[in-house]
Amino acid sequence: MGSLFDQLTAKVSNSNKKIVFPEGLDERILTAASQLSAAGVVTPILIGNQESIEKKAAANNIDIASCTIIDPQEYAEFDAMVEAFVERRKGKATEEDARKILLDENYFGTMLVYMNNADGLVSGAAHSTADTVRPALQIIKTKEGIKKTSGVFIMVRDDEKYVFADCAINITPDSQDLAEIAVESAQTARLFDVEPRVAMLSFSTKGSAKSPETERVVEALEIAKEKDSSLVIDGEFQFDAAFVPSVAAKKAPDSVLKGDANVFVFPSLEAGNIGYKIAQRLGGFEAVGPVLQGLNRPVNDLSRGCSADDVYKLAIITAAQAME
């Protein structure tokens, strides 16, 4: 695990990336922000009332002297932010609406990223995924050609690294969604120095079973190939055919994948969520993420059960995404 974050830390150090933490009163956030600023890895921006944040930090013996604190109530450029938000929402919010909405720390933090006053955002220690993702979808929005954001986990055990997608966002992705997830997950893999070999997973391997579910995966494979003809990708595969060379030789001897896939696209959120948790709990893998992909600027979501170390690592990942 150390080598993965050693590589990413070396990549982002001295890049002076500014990462917003809307949950400035959370002890885990304060601890990670203190460590990040002390190490010179990123410049943390804490959102909230300055006096309250400083009091909370002092009570927990956390040094945040090198962190920037921004209070939405006192923000000098708030009027400009309101104007930019109304423009971005294109008639879906009045100026009066905007002044209320932007006092919400997640919306405020997301606007800092949108207005280039920060490079990325990490939230979710005290908020739901929806609270973190909704402002990003409304303000930062998805990249051109991408309809939906998705969430991957980087599964790490010693020197092994795999990408599991989508394990966080899309409940029942259609063929187009699965193709997007595959292409975006391959790009995310490269961020972690994984040369992607993508398997589209199912309960069938190369037509061993036929159903609307398997046909959706087969169709997604063709769409993904059209989107990126250079991608090493195949499907539909059962997991063992994608991962075990001897099984691959029997079930899919003509495939470009020889049981050596390292990016796994699950056919549904249900399958992906179950799959990564089995690998984590039974396989001893560390699950890093979810890392959100497909957005114009990096926004990432913490688990509410996260540790300060989780916050630290996700901030580094967010900074690395901002360098792409």
Q: What is the pLDDT of residues 123-140, one digit of tens each?
A: 988 888 888 889 999 999
* Secondary structure (H, E, C), 247-272: HHHHHCCCCCCCCCCCEEECCCHHHH
- What are the residues whose beta carbons fall under 8 Å from the beta carbon of 269, sequence distance 6 or more? 166, 167, 168, 169, 170, 171, 172, 173
Strand order in the sheet with 299-301: 68-70, 43-47, 18-21, 120-123, 299-301
Q: What is the pLDDT of residue 130?
A: 85
Q: Is the pLDDT of residue 145 over 90?
A: no
Residue 32's pLDDT band, with cuts at 50, 70 and 90, is very high
Averaged pLDDT for residues 260-289: 95
Averaged pLDDT for residues 46-60: 95
Q: Are the beta carbons of 290 and 300 closer than 8 angstroms? A: yes
Nearest to 78 by CA among 101, 55, 54, 57: 101
Least confident stretch, 191-195, 232-236, 296-300: 191-195
What is the tens place of the pLDDT at every residue in 78-137? Answer: 999 999 999 999 888 899 999 999 999 999 999 999 999 999 999 988 888 888 889 999
- What are the residues whose beta carbons fall under 8 Å from the beta carbon of 219, sequence distance 6 or more? 175
More confident site: 5 or 257: 257
* Spatial distance between the Cα atoms of 324 and 298, rounded to a whole number of angstroms: 10
**Rg, Å, the chain Cα set:** 21
Of 1-5, 61-65, 299-303, which one has max mean pLDDT?
A: 61-65
